[in-house]
């Protein structure tokens, strides 16, 4: 079993050193409590609600800046993995919405968010590379960021490449939901985990930032899709969300004697990406009352 | 708004005429109560728990057999759509696990289950064609069957081709779940619906058949992924599960001012089907403690 903690907290907009220092304090407490893999929110270093790209650029750092170098040092010192979002400087234009994966004794691995949510496309440069899958002493760890989780193609990719755990720094804006329902983002994390038989740890943030209220729904889901740990959705507060996960379960893709979530894929019948986006709808008539 | 009903009931193994007659009674009651689209379980005509392919073959019928021709007649008479599973005869070998889509005034549209669950592969011949998308007066209707729902590639296909509603005859075998959790199958239907912004109506069966207890979790989910109607999971009984759904919501793929579940796909970065299934895991070391 591997102890995983999501440190759900409230980074403050633009206060990079203070945010990183607070993440390090929380990391120390998580490790003291037994965590070996610790996940932080999207844009932990900088906060999220930038007015524009210039404001984001002012909070951006390169990989050798304060945020990633301090996280690397802490991961090495405590012999535990850190996954944390940061605003990454880009000398060619708008910054990247990135996450660093710090494995003790290794160089930082950087993933840049590919699917930019809403007005993020006016603030950041999208990533162009698949999620990394990195061998560690606990198993193979991958990283995606927030809205990336909403695209099944993007979770299939690291799962098919052998990821045992997908860590996802997120900032989920709060939206209305029917009484008694979990946030849709949590439901989709459960589904993505179980359809791929891979564990997912999503670390959300909390608090209010300019006009945005955050969902505060950090969740750690096992390879069966069950939420082993879920933040207290009523409190909506800073919280360390912790679960013990048997990561080797992600190596078993079987559902039954004959069924296997990967072997049962009918790749011979699936369309190439983009192929079917504009295919004409099959129809026996020209009527279309909804158009 | 379109009224959709899932007629959750208990077909009896091998009793084709009795099962079809019972489905027609239930269809009549659903239509009298206002339903315009009525979904029945997987293998409504035959039951599910066949010992082998020969037993399934004995309950199999061609498209002009009793089941589909009676359903077509009823759809025409009541001016309402029927989607129902049936065991389809195959002169070349094992029968198909099929579903018929009966739109009033049209020829039957047949879909053959592509992803065969567990030992079904020893009983049935898998389908080889994508889910149909058929224009109707209520919107564009598609059909998949049970385990097909577990593959995001297979739901993307009709969604990208413009489906407003995906009808899914299912037979979900009951498996253990943590207290307070919905069946994983329902969670995945919610996620598939919301990731594609398409409505899904899944009609489960109930009862016990040989060794199999059925989950009895028929559900109708809107394009936001919320279950508008869900069978009573405690009763686990025969039940008409009904919801009024605004199918035109499935035409709006927007999530926010800038975000759109289809336009935001990064098809330029997604792997071709099967391409990444055996790609080597990226690794800086040869250690792999979980293998």
Asked if residue B184 has pLDDT above 70, the reply is yes
84-113 in chain A: CB under 8 A from chain B: 106
pLDDT band at B280 (very low <50, low <70, confident <90, very high): very low
What is the share, in percent, of chain B residues with pLDDT greater than 70? Answer: 95
173-202 in chain B: CB under 8 A from chain A: 177-178, 181, 184, 187-188, 190-192, 194-195
pLDDT band at B275 (very low <50, low <70, confident <90, very high): confident
pLDDT band at A281 (very low <50, low <70, confident <90, very high): low
What is the residue-averaged pLDDT of chain B?
Answer: 95
252-281 in chain B: CB under 8 A from chain A: 255-259, 261-262, 264-274, 276-277, 279, 281
pLDDT tens for each residue of B67-109: 999 999 999 999 999 999 999 999 999 999 999 999 999 999 9
* Across A78-104, average pLDDT: 98
pLDDT band at B273 (very low <50, low <70, confident <90, very high): confident
pLDDT tens for each residue of B234-263: 998 999 999 999 999 999 999 999 999 999
Q: Are A180 and A213 in contact (CB under 8 A)?
A: no
Asked if residue B19 has pLDDT above 70, the reply is yes
Predicted TM-score of the model (pTM): 0.96
More confident site: B178 or A289: B178
Give the DSSP H or E segment for A192. Answer: helix A184-196
* Across B14-37, average pLDDT: 98
pLDDT value, residue B284: 44
Query: Taking CB atoms and an 8 Å cut-off, how many pairs form between chains A and B?
Result: 220
pLDDT band at A290 (very low <50, low <70, confident <90, very high): low
Beta-carbon separation of A271 and B157 below 8 A: yes
Using CB atoms, pick whichever of A126, A130, A277 lies closest to residue B267: A277
Asked if residue A9 has pLDDT above 60, the reply is yes
Contacts of A264 in chain B (CB under 8 A): 115-116, 147, 151
Using CB atoms, pick whichever of B132, B160, B274 lies closest to residue A277: B160
Residue from B141, B155, B147 nearest B247 by CA: B141
Radius of gyration of the CA atoms of chain A, in A: 19
Asked if residue B287 has pLDDT above 90, the reply is no
Asked if residue A147 has pLDDT above 90, the reply is yes
Closest residue in A to B173 (Cα) is A256
pLDDT value, residue B274: 76
Secondary structure string (H, E, C) spanning chain B: CEEEEEEECCCCCCCHHHHHHHHHHHHHHHHHCCCCEEECCCCCCCCCCCCCHHHHHHCCECCCCHHHHHHHHHHHHHCCEEEEEEEECCCCCCCEEEEEEECCCCCCEEEECCCCCHHHHHCCECCCCCCCEEEECCEEEEECCHHHHHCHHHHHHHHHCCCCEEEEECCCECCCCCCCCCCHHHHHHHHHHHHHCCEEEEECCCCEECCEEECCCCEEECCCCCEEEECCCCCCCCEEEEEEECHHHHHCCECCCCCECCCCCCCCCCCCCCCCCCCCCCCCCCCCCCC
Residue in A134, A151, A233 to test binding to B, most B beta-carbons within 10 Å: A151
Eight-state DSSP code of residue A95: P
Beta-carbon separation of A281 and B184 below 8 A: no
* Across A265-284, average pLDDT: 71
pLDDT tens for each residue of B138-164: 999 999 999 999 999 999 999 999 999
pLDDT value, residue B281: 52
Pairing outcome for strands A81-88 and A139-143: unpaired
What is the share, in percent, of chain A residues with pLDDT greater than 70? Answer: 95
Using CB atoms, pick whichever of A135, A147, A248 lies closest to residue B283: A135
Contacts of B187 in chain A (CB under 8 A): 187, 190-191, 194, 225
Asked if residue A58 has pLDDT above 70, the reply is yes
* Across B177-206, average pLDDT: 98
Residue in A257, A264, A274 to test binding to B, most B beta-carbons within 10 Å: A264
Asked if residue A291 has pLDDT above 80, the reply is no
* Across B154-178, average pLDDT: 98
pLDDT band at A286 (very low <50, low <70, confident <90, very high): very low
């Amino acid at each position: 079993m591997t102890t995983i903690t999501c440190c759900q907290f409230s980074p403050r907009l633009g206060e990079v050193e203070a945010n990183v220092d607070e993440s390090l304090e929380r990391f120390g407490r998580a490790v003291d409590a037994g965590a070996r893999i610790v996940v932080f929110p999207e844009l932990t270093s900088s906060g999220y609600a930038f007015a524009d790209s210039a404001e984001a650029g002012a909070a951006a750092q390169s990989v050798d800046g304060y945020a990633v170098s301090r996280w690397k040092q802490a991961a090495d010192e405590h012999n535990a993995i850190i996954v944390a979002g940061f605003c990454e400087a880009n000398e060619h234009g708008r910054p990247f919405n990135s996450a660093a994966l710090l494995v003790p004794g290794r160089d930082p691995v950087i993933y840049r968010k590919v699917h930019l949510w809403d007005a993020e496309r006016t603030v950041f440069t999208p990533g162009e590379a698949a999620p990394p899958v990195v061998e560690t002493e606990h198993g193979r760890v991958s990283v995606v960021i927030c809205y990336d989780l909403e695209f099944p193609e993007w979770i299939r990719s690291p799962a098919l490449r052998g990821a045992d755990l997908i860590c996802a720094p997120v900032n989920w804006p709060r939206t209305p939901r029917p009484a008694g329902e979990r946030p849709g983002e949590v439901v989709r994390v459960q589904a993505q985990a179980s359809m791929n038989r891979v564990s997912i740890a999503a670390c959300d943030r909390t608090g209010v930032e300019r006009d945005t209220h955050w969902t505060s729904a950090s969740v750690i889901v096992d390879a069966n899709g069950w939420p082993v740990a879920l933040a207290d959705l009523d409190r909506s507060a800073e919280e360390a969300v912790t679960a013990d996960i048997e990561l080797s379960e992600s190596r078993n893709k079987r559902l039954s004697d004959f069924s296997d979530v990967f072997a049962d894929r009918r790749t011979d019948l699936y369309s190439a990406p983009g192929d079917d986006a504009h295919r004409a709808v099959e129809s026996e008539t020209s009527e279309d009352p909804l158009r």
